[in-house]
Structures are given as C-alpha cells and as structure tokens.
Amino acid sequence: MKWTLPNILTVLRLVSAPALGLAFVAFPRPVADWIVLGLFVGAALTDWLDGYLARRWDQTSRLGAMLDPIADKAMVIIALALVIGLSGLDPWLLIPGTVILFREVFVSGLREYLGSQAGQLSVTKLAKWKTTAQMAAI
C-alpha cells in the first residue's frame, strides 16, 4: 500500500469521524460544539480535496476508493446521531435524519449484495452533489 496525500487525507477523515462524538465527552459545551464544527467542516473540505488531488495527480487507488465512502458514511452517521441526540429528538430533525440514515444503510447493503459487481456502480455527479448537500445541511 502506497501512502499518498489523497489517501492520508481520507484516513484522517475516517479517524476524525469518531472524534466528533468524543469531543462531547472530553469538552464541555459550547467548546465541544466549536471543536466538532471545525472537525466536520475540515472533513467535508478534505472529502472534496482528496478526490480532486487523487484525480489531478493520477493517484487514485483501490484503498482510497474503498475508504472514501466509508469515511463519508461514518462522518454523516455520527454527525446526524449527534445532531438528533442533542436536539432532544426534535421531529423536524429526526424524520429527515432517519431518511438519510436509511439511505446510507440501504446503499451499503446494496453494494454488499452486488459483491464483485459493486465496482460497476460508478460515482456520478449527482452522488457528489448529494454528499455536498448532506454535509452542508448537517
């Protein structure tokens, strides 16, 4: 496995996902809120940056292709769990959050079901816009 800057950014994003929840254990509010905001915005930016650099520098890899959607899903799921939990289960957040979580699990299950054929499911511009919209909404 070759450690390229795009892969390092992806791994850092993956590691920062659980750090979102841990920030609320380690720090009082509102300090934790600001730390989590910084981590989440940084992760959202590196999501775009690692893909851009991998394509620009011709450093795409199987590792990056595998870890990138895992990091995205981990970040979205943990952030949504925090938002919903901290909102006191507000229905205006719980309902769209549930729909987003269902979609994330469904797509992961679909890829698992397809097995070796899952690689034929290419990432479309619509999927990139969906991830951008999710990150912005959260």
For 60-113, the three-class secondary structure string (H helix, E strand, C coil) is: CCHHHHHHHHHHHHHHHHHHHHHHHHHCCCCHHHHHHHHHHHHHHHHHHHHHHH
| H or E element at residue 15 | helix 5-26
Task: Write the pLDDT tens digit of every residue in 58-110.
Answer: 888 888 888 888 898 899 999 999 999 998 989 999 999 999 899 888 988 88
Cα separation of 31 and 98, whole Å? 27
Give, for 133, the enclosing helix (H) or strand (E). Answer: helix 125-137
Exposed, middle or buried: residue 133 (CB in 10 Å: 0-12, 13-18, 19+)?
Answer: exposed
Give this prediction's pTM.
0.82
